[in-house]
Amino acid sequence: MGAPIGIDIALAAALLNDGKLVAIPTETVYGLSANGLNTDAVAAIFAAKNRPTFDPLILHVSSIDQAKSLCSTWPAAASKLANAFWPGPLTMVLPKADHVPHLVTADNPTVAVRMPNNAMTLALLNQVSFPLAAPSANPFGYVSPTNAQHVLDQLGERIDYILDGGPCAIGIESTIVSISEEDEVTVLRLGGLDIDSISAVLGKSISEVLTTHSNPQAPGQLDQHYAPGSSMIPWDPNQSEAEARLINHNSNETFGLLWFSQQQAQQWLSLHPAAAANKTMKHYHLSEDGNDKEAAMNLFGTLRRFDKDQCHQVYFVWAPPAGLGRAINDRLKRASAKGSR
């Protein structure tokens, strides 16, 4: 059972008007949405996700004007970036307007705003009179959902409807930047928009505050975010002990091997037939020939496959750190920090 999955935008709007919870498709990942100006509805999001209230939510909007109405200032950099990248995978953290509930921003003086690039969700936003507060639609600390079934699997019993927009085109959460009243732009989270594109629009390089520990500016950027059920262990195919680690892995237990590309996997496995013959190993790749966008799109779904296969441990290969490769590595790093939980 669980929440119905469908494409009824009018029904989704009616439920949201009623203070209910609706999962929505975006180009990055599915969100768990509610009326972002209704404190009770927002509280229900935290409860459904089991999310601590110190972790603030993003408000999703359908226009730049709506975003401006949620902020107390709209610096020049916000205009430039919104014009260049919205709708799209960029969230901007700006000084908040007074009427934005404190629960949404976790008592921060700032609010996160984003216009998602998904036709259904934009149509839905146009049918309601409020912004949608929406974190990723997964239980707190687990990997984000990239299709409607992922949402149903984990939150189906706790929400009222799942709007089905098909698989997410980008597959990794939005890039988050904060913009100060003085127009200073700082990256808080790597994501679906690469940093070079942002720098190019601003005409200067931008600083990054990507702490691996709880960050007062981005309280949700915790170490062990995005973790699947399996333990994720970095593995370097070029190291001399790489093959031995696979061969010597406890032979009674299914384990996983995550490649960045199929090409890389084929080359290495053909040179190491003893490892390739290990029947307890499940291996998947993120892309055919090393395309970073394809890899990002496949990342979370692939981590879920290892869980379905009941792999207790998964060895993974880092992505080349260019384009979305940096954001992919950020998620892999957080997933592998789970062991320290």
Query: Strand pairing partners for 243?
Result: none
User: Minimum distance from CB of 135 to ligand TXA (Å)?
Assistant: 3
Choosing among Mg ion, ligand TXA, none, which partner's interface includes residue 111 (Cβ < 5 to 8 Å by kind)?
ligand TXA
Is position 150 an interface residue for ligand TXA (rule: CB under 6 A)? no
Q: Smaller CB distance to ligand TXA: residue 171 or 290?
A: 171
Strand ranges inside the chain, DSSP E:
5-6, 22-24, 31-35, 58-60, 90-95, 110-114, 132-133, 161-163, 175-179, 185-189, 207-208, 231-234, 255-261, 281-287, 313-316
| Residues at the site binding Mg ion, with contacts judged by CB under 5 A | 136
> Is the preceding omega at residue 87 within 30 degrees of 0, hence cis?
yes
Cβ at position 246, least distance to ligand TXA in Å: 33
Q: Segment 214-233, which members bind ligand TXA (CB under 6 A)?
A: 217-221
Counting contacts by CB under 6 A, is residue 193 touching ligand TXA?
no
In this complex, which beta carbon is closest to ligand TXA, that of residue 12 or of residue 317? 12
- Give the position of tokens 């399996």: 230
Partner that binds at residue 29, options ligand TXA, Mg ion, none, CB closer than 5 to 8 Å by kind = ligand TXA
Span of 51-59, 123-131, 155-163, 310-318 interacting with ligand TXA by CB under 6 A:
51-59
Please identify, using beta-carbon distances, which residue of 136 and 221 lies nearer to Mg ion. Answer: 136
If contact means CB under 5 to 8 A according to the sort of partner, which of Mg ion, ligand TXA, none does residue 55 touch? ligand TXA
Q: Does 329 bind ligand TXA (CB under 6 A)?
A: no
Q: Which residues contact 118 (CB under 8 A, 6 or more apart)?
A: 24, 25, 26, 27, 87, 165
**Span near ligand TXA by CB under 6 A; candidates 54-62, 193-201, 205-213, 257-265:** 54-62
Among the listed ranges 134-142, 236-244, 283-291, 295-303, the one in contact with ligand TXA (CB under 6 A) is 134-142
Q: Does 29 bind ligand TXA (CB under 6 A)?
A: yes
Strands of the sheet containing 313-316, edge to edge, are: 231-234, 313-316, 255-261, 281-287
Residue of 164, 167, 172 whose CA lies nearest to 191: 172
Distance (Å, whole) CA 265 – CA 285: 8
Among 16, 22, 134, 297, binds ligand TXA (CB under 6 A): 134
| Residue 220 C-beta: closest distance to Mg ion, Å | 7
Q: Which of 81, 89, 148, 78 lies closest to 115 in space, CA to CA?
A: 89
Based on the shown chain and the rule CB under 6 A, indicate whether residue 112 belongs to the binding site for ligand TXA. Answer: yes
Distance CA 34, CA 41 (A): 6
Task: Pick from 12, 21, 92, 111 the residue near ligand TXA by CB under 6 A.
Answer: 111
Least gap, CB of 57 to ligand TXA (angstroms): 6
DSSP states of 10-76 as a string?
Answer: HHHHHHHHTT--EEE--SSS-EEEEETT-HHHHHHHHHHHT--TTS--EEE-SSHHHHHHTBS---H
DSSP 135-168: -BSS-TTSPPP-SHHHHHHHHTTT-SEEE---S-
Using CB positions, name the residue nearest to Mg ion: 136
**Which C-beta is closer to ligand TXA: that of 105 or that of 230?**
105
**Minimum separation from the CB atom of position 222 to Mg ion (A):** 10
Neighbour-count burial of 88, counting CB atoms closer than 10 A to its CB (0-12 exposed, 13-18 middle, 19+ buried): buried
What string marks each residue from 160 to 179 as x (binds ligand TXA by CB under 6 A) or -?
A: -------------xx-x---
Does residue number 135 form part of the binding site for ligand TXA (CB under 6 A)?
yes
